[in-house]
Amino acid sequence: MKAFLLERYGKKRPLRSAETALPELRDDEVLVEVHAAGVNLLDAKIRSGELKLILPYRLPVALGHDLAGVVVKTGARARQFRVGDEVYARVNDFRIGTFAEFVPVKEASLAPKPRNLTMVEAASIPLVGLTAWQAVIEKAGLKKGQKVFIQAGSGGVGSFAIQLAKHVGATVATTTSSGNTSLVKGLGADIVVDYKTQDFEAVLRDFDLVLNSQDGKTLEKSLTVLKRGAKLISISGPPDPDFGAEISARGFVRLVMRLLSSGIRRRAQRRDIRYSFLFMKANGLQLREITRLIEAGAIRPVIDRVFPFDATNEALAYVESGRAKGKVVIKIK
């Protein structure tokens, strides 16, 4: 099969197109023929080596975390799906590789593809959808009437999280450029801050939750818009000790995480704010909940560009540029 492989870590280092053997299928997995694969900033971060402490992959490895496709084979203990089923998923860490024609996926991480979406549309959903779900619903427990500030509303996670928070019944604020104001308002944003001309900390007050996806400076400023007892959840770091325990990190790695997050945790504690880091996990049950929302029309995919399989490196470069509105998808079949 054809796959795009990371052979050596390096920023902007191109992936190599190669013919490889079909991966070995484990008993609790199904083999999926990939029709489309979402492209995420996570792929670029793995390529550059930024996440080696958290995700120490043995190279070469095919990149890619999102997929939509068709089941072509099932493992001995896989019972939920049959050959021919249309599915989508965020594959598990250390079993990544959706930039390929076939990929094995843990059955517990799969969900039936939403009936009202194409393969390309479905492939845009899993990673950003699960990130938003695990932040807004699982970790924050956002409720009707609360106020949430979702940064970078026109991005992949932001465009999904706005819709999810609005479905819950929250008041939603976001940042974007003036050119994307109509987009984020159409997704449900109530308050839109133009990050090029406005400082969000001068506009927003007494929020219950901030979903941070930007740099450390923005993370620090986010504390000022939250009320006492609120939550600050970051998907861009720094990782905290709870995350180190969650992934059973080595002692040295846990120490590094504790040191990296000590400043923001200390400042948050002074304001009676709970800081936490989120690195989303594959979860088929949560993806089924997302499927229901999509099929009910509560959430729609937002796709910027679709690239052919041969242009995988160009798709990754476009995502890394930060210009994408919503998601970028590679059409494989």
Prediction pTM value: 0.97
Q: What whole-number percentage of the chain has pLDDT above 70?
A: 100
pLDDT of residue 332: 98
Residues 242, 263, 149, 230, CA torsion sign: positive
Among 3.10.300.10, 3.90.180.10, 3.40.50.11930, 3.30.505.10, name the CATH number for the domain at 2-125+301-331. 3.90.180.10
pLDDT tens-digit map of 267-282: 999 999 999 999 999 9
- pLDDT band of 174, cuts 50, 70, 90: very high
pLDDT of residue 116: 98
Beta bridge partners of 331: 36, 308
Among 3.40.50.720, 1.10.3720.10, 3.30.365.10, 3.40.50.1110, name the CATH number for the domain at 128-277. 3.40.50.720
What does the pLDDT average to over 130-159? 98
Whether pLDDT at 12 is above 90:
no
pLDDT of residue 49: 95
Q: Where are the beta strands (DSSP E) in the chain?
A: 2-6, 16-19, 29-39, 61-62, 66-74, 86-90, 102-106, 110-112, 147-150, 171-176, 191-194, 207-212, 226-234, 274-277, 303-308, 327-331
pLDDT of residue 259: 94
> 């219950």: which residue's tokens?
208
pLDDT of residue 248: 87
pLDDT tens-digit map of 96-144: 999 999 999 999 999 999 999 999 999 999 999 999 999 999 999 999 9
pLDDT of residue 37: 98
- pLDDT band of 183, cuts 50, 70, 90: very high
pLDDT tens-digit map of 46-105: 999 999 988 999 999 999 999 999 999 999 999 999 999 999 999 999 999 999 999 999
pLDDT of residue 249: 86
pLDDT tens-digit map of 213-225: 999 999 999 999 9
Q: Where are the chain's structural domains?
A: 2-125+301-331, 128-277
pLDDT of residue 234: 98
Rounded CA-CA distance 144/276 in Å is: 22
Establish whether domains 2-125+301-331 and 128-277 are of one fold.
Answer: no
Q: Are 324 and 155 in contact (CB under 8 A)?
A: yes
**What is the pLDDT of the chain when averaged over all its residues?**
96
Closest CA to 113 of 290, 305, 308: 290
Whether pLDDT at 304 is above 90:
yes
> 């008041």: which residue's tokens?
171
